[in-house]
Structure 1
Amino acid sequence: MSVINTEIKPFKAQAFKDGKFIEVSDADVKGNWAVFFFYPADFTFVCPTELGDVADHYEEFQKMGVEIYSVSTDTHFTHKAWHDSSETIGKIKYTMIGDPTATISRNFEVLRENEGLANRGTFIVDPDGVIQALEITAEGIGRDASDLLRKVKAAQYVRAHPGEVCPAKWKEGEETLAPSLDLVGKI
């Protein structure tokens, strides 16, 4: 996983959002916080539970200035069909990127080359387009949008407060740490 602290690579892709097909590129991402939420495939089992969970928290992400981009190697047409046929996916208001060429999945190093599917990967990207956090899980392990919110808040806090870090289980408003020689061996 060499992508942490690296700038996202260039891409251009078709996506489905708000009942329309749109084009999305790396340039659209820069300037704002973003979460790239990769999943294996539309019309599957764990994927809709995860995407629905993120949809339930989308307004909170928006209030924090974070855009969500879900990505699979399906097409934007498949995303629309899934959106139109599933009650869970129908509530999604964030951008659903189609990656049939697997360019984006390769860029983020989540592609299963032998299957043409993306692993479950979550990437928090800062306004400079730099990957600040990532999580990869096995196909059978779903992710939790509440914990993703916590991680985004921590990433935003650290960016806004140079010299401070967020300890384990940190939640907004709790104490942070200021690494120094005085703290060595005292935590």
Structure 2
Amino acid sequence: MSMINKEVSDFSVQAYQNGEFKTVTKADILGKWSVFFFYPADFTFVCPTELEDLQNKYSDFQAAGCEIYSVSTDSHFVHKAWHDSSERIGKITYPMLADPTHALCKDFEVLIESDGMAERGSFIVNPEGKIVVYEVNAGNVGRNADELFRRLQASQFVAEHGDQVCPAKWQPGAETLKPSLDLVGML
């Protein structure tokens, strides 16, 4: 079943960000764009490369009015320990959400129940709290922050210009498509 237009359920989780623990709830994501970036676990191999890549693009996401939330089933204490001990993770300034109860992983349907860990899932959530883009990768395939940012920009564009669609490889400023009324149902 598709997750497109699924509204994120109410949640309240602990997070680690910029040397502090804090609570993040559904109310925090409403009214702005969000990216939920699920990964299997702290202190692993592919995850730090992805999270660093995302940090390198974080200012672009923020300039676009989007907050990034990385999420694993580790606790906020483990996030802090990883942040304090890893050069790559030590650079991260976006919130690292803790999901030891698996509430978020279940809501976004990325929980690997047999392992108690999350799949590599990337979700773009609109200001109304609904998923508009998502992708789930196998655990051994890393993601690309540049492509995730491009998808955010395309999602924001079509949200603002509802009568237009973005073709493959669309970039801001590039030509869009305006489907005729008789073809709208076939997109």
Tell me whether the two structures share a fold, i.e. TM-score over 0.5: yes
SS in 1 for 2:67: strand
Return the alpha-carbon distance in structure 2 between the equivalents of residues 29 and 144 of structure 1: 23
| 1:49 Cα offset (Å) | 0.2
Residue 100 of structure 1 pairs with residue 100 of structure 2: yes
Runs of 4+ more than 4 Å apart = 181-184
Residues 49-93 of structure 1: CA deviation (Å, up to 9, x unaligned): 000000000001000000000000000000000000001000000
Q: How many residues align?
A: 184
RMSD: 1.2
Return the alpha-carbon distance in structure 1 between the equivalents of residues 31 and 183 of structure 2: 35
Residues 101-147 of structure 1: CA deviation (Å, up to 9, x unaligned): 00000000000111100000000000000100001000000000000
| 1:162 Cα offset (Å) | 1.0
SS in 2 for 1:163: coil
Match of 1:59 in 2: 59
| 1:157 Cα offset (Å) | 0.1
SS in 1 for 2:96: strand
Match of 1:3 in 2: 3
| 1:16 Cα offset (Å) | 0.2
Structure 1 residue runs of 5 or longer lacking an equivalent are none
Return the alpha-carbon distance in structure 2 between the equivalents of residues 13 and 169 of structure 1: 35
Return the alpha-carbon distance in structure 1 between the equivalents of residues 136 and 59 of structure 2: 24
Match of 1:141 in 2: 141
Return the alpha-carbon distance in structure 2 between the equivalents of residues 112 and 97 of structure 1: 17
- Percentage of pairs with the same residue: 58
TM-score, structure 1 as length reference: 0.96
| 1:182 Cα offset (Å) | 7.6
Return the alpha-carbon distance in structure 2 between the equivalents of residues 17 and 181 of structure 1: 47
Structure 2 residue runs of 5 or longer lacking an equivalent are none
